[in-house]
A = this chain, B = another copy of it.
Amino acid sequence: MTTTGVAARVSTVDLLGWTTEVFHALGLPPGRARASAAALCHGDLTGLTSHGLANLTRLYLPLFQDGRADPAAEPVVLTDLGAAALVDARRALGLWQATEAMDNAVDRARTHGIGLVSVRGATHFGCAGHHTALAARHGMIGLLAGNCGGQRIAPPPGGTVAMLGTNPLSVAAPAGAGHPFVLDMSTTVVPTGRIRAAARAGESIPPGWLSDVDGNPVTDPAAFDRGEAQLRWLGGDPETGGYKGFGLGLVVEVLGALVSGAGNGPSRDAYSGDRGRDDDIGYAAIAIAPGALRHGKSFQRQSAEVFGALLDCPSTSESGVRYPGWHEGERAASHLRDGVPIPPALHAELNEVAELLGIGRL
């Protein structure tokens, strides 16, 4: 309850309950408020704090205030082909709506082996890995690829104006008895949240995240919002695969925006330096059910073998070999036991929200 000192520890149950109240107070029906809370708190639970409750005042409250997200929206199914469907989310809050889309893809995959829910008119869905991990819990593979609507953040290699968003991509799969495999990545080297967090903290960033217009490394994170540095693609320079990162960003744009007809980043409007806005986001939620195609038990055995062999891999480092999703799973387990650390400044900020909405303090 103080703004300085050590982080408060809040139980997972209390954190989810309080955040559900927030979304309910904002006008979401109870089930959707609960799903939204689970998606937002996923960031705090797993240690991906740049996508957690810190985004409540920075991102989600303004979305509702500006009418860019509609708490009462009812998404509409525009096309239903059994295995695949096209949905207009109509500005529904992405935090719950992406969970619903992934659940729906899982249902389709159970019957058809693969399921696709293609969504336009969407808003921010938080951590992509929260939604894909749901598919893994059903013994399936989940894939979520979402563009940033009309928002443009990073230029193509050789280009001088931003054309694409950070275009996140997540794939999750069961990994035997261990934490599920969850890859959750921006197709740029890092998401913008990492740059801005460093700028707020007054820290420099490693070479390779930003470059100036001539391609030289920039280590001052504040240069990004001053318009003096460009965010780089995964792979970095052309000879180490920068075109692959750019290509993966385009894959997400194709799967997210072109399949659904959502807003797209690359446009001639960009030539004037217009960076667009992250409205009309498009994404693809895909589930694949190995258990429908082959014997489910043998799939589980093989995935346990693959991920188990990786965890026990001979290593030069004391922390050993881990796969994406493992550390997040460990953190969630320890936070469930010991409470979720909420830094004092964030705690104060959230209690201001509580006061504003007339709900109890966290």
By a beta-carbon cutoff of 8 Å, the part of chain A in contact with chain B is 78-79, 81-86, 111-116, 118, 141, 155-161, 163, 171, 173, 181, 183, 185, 189-190, 206, 208-209, 213-214, 234-237, 239-241, 243-248, 250-251, 253-255, 257-261, 264-268, 270-271, 284, 286, 288, 290, 292-294, 298-299, 302-303, 305-307, 309-310, 312-317, 319-324
Name A323's closest neighbour in chain B (CB-CB). B250
A-B contacts, 9 listed (Cβ < 8 Å):
A81-B293, A158-B313, A173-B254, A183-B244, A185-B244, A189-B240, A214-B316, A254-B303, A257-B306
* Chain B residues with CB below 8 A from A268, complex form: 305, 309, 312
Tell whether A206 pairs with B240 under 8 Å between CB atoms, given A234-B234, A261-B302: yes
Instruction: Give the chain B neighbours of A302 by CB distance below 8 A.
Output: 257-258, 261, 264
CB neighbours (8 Å) of A309 from chain B are: 163, 266-268, 270
Query: Could you tell me if A259 and B313 are in contact, using CB atoms closer than 8 angstroms?
Result: no
Number of copies: 2
* With known contacts A258-B290, A259-B141, A306-B264, A181–B114 Cβ distance under 8 A: no
Cα-based distance from A318 to B323 in the complex (angstroms): 41
With the chains together, A265 CA to B116 CA distance in Å? 28
Known: A288-B259, A309-B266. A234 touches B241 (CB 8 A): yes
- A112 near B82 with CB under 8 A, answer yes
Which chain B residues lie closer than 8 Å to A81 at the CB level?
A: 111-113, 292-293
Q: A234-B241, A258-B290, A266-B309 are in contact. List 4 more A-B contacts (CB 8 A).
A: A78-B293, A209-B240, A234-B245, A254-B303
Q: Cβ of A259 and Cβ of B158 under 8 Å apart?
A: no
Q: Is the CB–CB distance between B83 and A82 below 8 Å? A: yes
Complex formed: what's the CA distance from A58 to B320 in Å? 37
In the assembled complex, how far is the CB of residue A227 from the closest CB belonging to chain B, in whole angstroms?
A: 15
Q: How long is the Cα–Cα vector from A255 to B181 in the complex, in angstroms?
A: 13
Contact indicator A112/B84 (Cβ below 8 Å): yes
Find chain B residues with CB under 8 A from A189 CB. 235, 240-241
Question: Is A183 touching B112 in the complex (CB atoms < 8 A)?
Answer: no
Chain B: CB-nearest residue to A237 = B208
Instruction: Name the 4 nearest CB pairs between A and B, nearest first.
Output: A84-B113, A83-B83, A183-B247, A81-B113
From B78, B85, B141, B321, give the contact of A159 (CB < 8 A). B321
Q: In the complex, which of the residues B112, B161, B288, B314 contacts A313, with contact meaning CB atoms closer than 8 Å?
A: B161
Which chain B positions have C-beta within 8 A of A261? Answer: 294, 298-299, 302
Chain B CB within 10 A, most for which of A113, A181, A290: A113
B158 touches A320 (CB 8 A): yes
Q: A114, A160, A214 — which one has the most chain B CB atoms within 10 A of its CB? A: A114
| Most chain B CB within a 10 A radius of its CB, from A78, A266, A305 | A266
Task: Chain B residues near A314: list those with CB within 8 A.
Answer: 159-161, 271
* Chain B residues near A250 (CB-CB < 8 A): 181, 183, 323-324
Nearest to A303 among chain B residues (CB) is B258
Give every chain B residue within 8 A of A159 (Cβ-Cβ). 310, 313-315, 321
